[in-house]
A and B are shown apart, each in its own frame.
Chain A
Amino acid sequence: MAQRNITFGFDFLLHPAGFDIPFHLLSWQLTDTYGYALLVCSLNTVLCASMSVVLATALGMLIALMRLSGNPLAAGTARAVMELVRNTPQLLQIFFIYVAVLQSLPVPRQSIVFGWGFFLNVRGLLIPSPDIDPRMWLLGCVVLVLAIAGWIARPPGSIIGVILGPLLLLAWAIAAAFSASWDLPAMHGFNFTGGLRIPPELLALWLGISIYTSAFISEIIRAAILGIPHGQTEASLSLGLSRGLTMYLVILPQALRMLIPPLTSQYLNIIKSTTLGAAIAYPEILQIFGRTVLNQSGRAVEVMTLLIAVFLSVNLLTSAVMNRWNRRLMAQGR
């Protein structure tokens, strides 16, 4: 390295970056530093990963339930979709959604209108943005803390402790949605003003990762539910519990225990898959750091070390947390 006049050091993180990040959650100016750019693009990665975790789990559960429904039409369709998704490359699916679907959408003037302020065009998905009162946010924080505290401190076997938190959060969300003033996107001249714009890159990456991972998650959920001996259902029904309560109190808690280790590795895969954003120029950490910053600063070794370090620490941390939770659930089972 010395032969090529390359020095090693992380001082470049304090230098001004001078490039634009097209999509950012925090404010971003050209004069901000490379170090701050790392934070901004990491947030983009986190945003896409968390959106994907939610959607992939929901879709996976939907496919699993369809396959377990006993209706041959629903089960067969779910199986076919799952096999198609699982046996084609993730990158191909992302490109398909991005290039073949989203980039062939109409221009803003001829947007597809969904109603309630939702518009879809070649520049992305426009959704209404809520303007929530600061006092409401404060109340939300209190509710969240209460929900977490209640979940940790709940007496063993209590149902109330488990469902109270989510119910409170749901109640807060409904109250916030009604009290907020909604900013609807509207057409002005050639473009939209107001509302929130989800860029097509984020949309493609989000949908691509979610659909691909949901196929694997559905198999995990199905295996976990089928893995519970049928005697458990029979015993619970013969004790007089209804079908719903049997599912909620007997099957799901046991299935959850088998679910957690494989689900963790799928969530870790989601975090790693967000790097595919570099293929469609979504400003996530690999795109901004591995491409733009590397080209501008020429600090290849430092940039790549940082990148790998970020992903390794996130991965190791997540698996440590999930392992702890898993041990806790296992301990409850004994």
Chain B
Amino acid sequence: MKTLWKPLFGSPLNVVLTAGMLALFYLTVPPFLHWALANATWDGLSRKACAPDGACWAFVRARFPLFIYGRYPQPERWRVDLAFVLLVLISAGTLFAPRWRGWWLLALLVFMPIVGTVLLVGGVFGLEPVATGDWGGLMLNVVLTFVAVVGSLPFGIMLAFGRQSTLPVVRWGSIGFIELWRGSPLLAVLFTGLIMLPMFLPNGVTVDNMIRASVVLTLFVSAYMAETVRGALQGVPRGQTEAALALGMHQLGAQVLVVLPQAMRLAIPGIINIVVDLFKDTTLVSIVGLFDLMGVINQSLKDPNWLGLAMEGYTFAMMLFFVACLVISLIGQTLERQFGSAARTPRR
């Protein structure tokens, strides 16, 4: 009690601050709890079942499968669940496994995309094919994030090396590419990709919207990935390259086998930040006609049975995103403590 007294009431300013904060809590917290819990309706078939001054969580419950899976066919949804469990397991292995990190990484970058595609798209091994047009909800956000991160990792690493290249064509090409994508807004780029791409393709060839969005997101993220990797490459002491060259390795081997593994370790916090930002930004695909969580919610709000429940729908989406992003950020912070400091302290 004594230790809390001073920071809360120790000086006139602190008394004012504490009183102000308490007043703010009094004004906001009880009405919110009243709306969200005390007066809320959890069951019902339409808006009419809900209390007028409480939250209508019945809407979220009724639409929950749609919010998570979109229009993915009901009997096939176990495939999405399985793919998600695999993704979590392999990601956790890559980040936290004490040994065989390389194999885990290989599993994440090669095995997971193949298995994921087989599971989600289907059409082989007796799995029903599911059109990408039926994908939606939170699942689409996760898929787009995964595709863009996995695709942008090799591309971003190449660009980062390209930017440091001594060949002017490669260097200026990389700089131009990176600055072009970093300078343009994601939404403008998505518009361009989804509207203009069909014009450059020969007649009769159509590319699926979901693939188009993935390509645009991958290229966009590559530019940011390249900058993160470049920063990490610069963080590896020059002595490492020199030592490798002195041992008789050639330039490529020294970069790929000695510098890059150390740089990737330094880059992990930056990459986690990119993943969080990207996961949030995948909601933008709802504006160009894909039905991700945001798009599905906006669509559900127009349902005549559930009109005027925007507050409930958006609050639920916020909670989902908040928990997911917070978990990813916390993992990032743990890893940063684990390697960041270890990598920075000089080894004796």
Contact = CB atoms under 8 A, between A and B. Distances in A.
| Physical interaction between A and B | yes
Interface of A: 1, 3-4, 6, 69-74, 77, 83-84, 86-93, 95-96, 99-100, 103-104, 272-276, 278-279, 286, 290, 294, 300-301, 304, 307-308, 311-312, 315-316
Q: How large is the interface on B (under 10, 10 to 19, 20 to 34, 35 or more residues)?
A: 35 or more
Interface of B is mostly: helix
Q: What are the 10 tightest A-B residue pairs by CB atom distance, in nearest-first order?
A: A87-B325, A272-B185, A89-B280, A100-B310, A315-B183, A275-B185, A99-B310, A100-B311, A312-B183, A96-B314
Nearest to A290: B191
A71 B7 contact: yes
A311 B14 contact: no
B251 to A, nearest CB: 32
Interface of B: 4, 7-8, 13-14, 17-18, 20-22, 24, 179-180, 182-189, 191-192, 195-196, 199-200, 202-203, 276, 280-281, 283-284, 286-287, 294, 298, 301, 308, 310-311, 314-315, 317-318, 321-322, 325-326, 329
19 contacts: A71-B7, A73-B22, A83-B326, A84-B318, A87-B321, A89-B281, A89-B283, A100-B314, A272-B184, A272-B185, A273-B185, A275-B185, A275-B188, A279-B287, A290-B188, A304-B195, A308-B180, A308-B189, A312-B180
Contacts of B202: 3
Contacts of B21: 71, 73-74, 77
A92 B315 CA distance: 9
B196 A275 contact: no
B294 A89 contact: yes
B185 A304 contact: no
Nearest to A66: B17
B272 to A, nearest CB: 13
Given A87-B326, A316-B179, A72 B8 contact: yes
Contact of A88 (B18, B196, B322): B322
A90 B280 contact: yes
Given A72-B7, A88-B318, A89-B283, A304 B191 contact: yes
A315 B179 CA distance: 10
Contact of B284 (A70, A88, A91, A99): A91
A90 B287 CA distance: 13
Contacts of A89: 280-281, 283, 294, 321
Nearest to A316: B183
Contact of B183 (A3, A276, A311): A311
Nearest to B276: A87
Contacts of A286: 185, 187-188, 191
Contacts of A95: 294, 298, 310, 314
Contacts of A316: 179, 183
Contacts of A278: 187, 191, 287
A95 B322 CA distance: 16
Given A91-B294, A99-B310, A104-B310, A308 B17 contact: no
B188 A70 contact: no
Contacts of A92: 283, 294, 314, 317-318, 321
Contacts of B287: 91, 278-279
A300 B199 CA distance: 9
A48 B173 CA distance: 34
Contacts of A73: 8, 17-18, 21-22
A186 to B, nearest CB: 30
Contacts of A104: 308, 310-311
A91 B199 contact: no
Given A4-B199, A88-B321, A89-B280, A71 B14 contact: yes
Which of B8, B182, B191, B203 gathers most chain A CB within 10 Å? B191
A306 to B, nearest CB: 11
Given A70-B14, A92-B294, A294 B184 contact: no
A278 B186 CA distance: 12
Contacts of A90: 280
Contacts of A308: 180, 184, 188-189, 192
Nearest to A315: B183
A91 B188 contact: no
A45 to B, nearest CB: 10
B22 A91 contact: no
Given A88-B325, A290-B188, A311-B184, A3 B298 contact: no
B126 to A, nearest CB: 37
A96 to B, nearest CB: 4
B17 A71 contact: yes
Nearest to B279: A89
Given A72-B8, A87-B321, A92-B318, A312 B188 contact: no
A69 B276 CA distance: 29
A292 to B, nearest CB: 12
A87 B196 CA distance: 32
Nearest to A74: B17
Contacts of A69: 13-14, 17
Nearest to B298: A95
B188 A84 contact: no
A278 B284 CA distance: 11
B196 to A, nearest CB: 5
B318 A96 contact: yes
Contacts of A311: 183-185, 188
B284 A71 contact: no
Contacts of B322: 83-84, 87-88
B223 to A, nearest CB: 13
A223 B329 CA distance: 18
A90 to B, nearest CB: 7
Contacts of B200: 1
A274 B188 CA distance: 11
